[in-house]
Amino acid sequence: MSPNIFKKKNLEKVIQFEYYAPLARKVHLAGTFNQWKPAGTILKKDASGHWRLSLKLPPGRYEYRYLVDGEWHNDQRPMECIPNAFGSWNCVIEIH
């Protein structure tokens, strides 16, 4: 007798990340959701200077930062931040 296989509901949520930097040449996103590797998460700039990226993430607590033209920055929106090992802060997002 074969085991019953139940399909799990897709619990991932689409999360919109946004950073305003009209003069920036490149904006990447890095965090615990991509092992802090910004190369694969490049934001796209619109005509108003907002850089945006949507990611599907499962429920959990994630830390992240933006890499803007080679320099680390936190989210510009008010949110929880926690200290990191480099003497700066990481933003935190919780997905339920």
Residue extents of the structural domains in the chain: 13-95
pLDDT for the residue 8: 52
* 21-69 tens-digit pLDDT: 999 999 999 999 999 999 999 999 999 999 999 999 999 999 999 999 9
13-95 is classed CATH 1.10.3210.10: no
pLDDT for the residue 55: 96
pLDDT for the residue 1: 44
- Rg of the chain (C-alpha set): 16
Rounded to an integer, what distance in angstroms lies between the CA atom of residue 30 and that of residue 43? 11
6 vs 73, which has greater pLDDT?
73
- How far, rounded to the nearest angstrom, does the alpha carbon of residue 71 sit from its chain's CA centroid? 16
Mean pLDDT of all residues in 71-79: 97
Question: Does residue 43 contact residue 7 with C-beta atoms inside 8 Å?
Answer: no
| Residues in a beta bridge with 17 | 53
Give yes or no for residue 7 having a pLDDT over 70: no
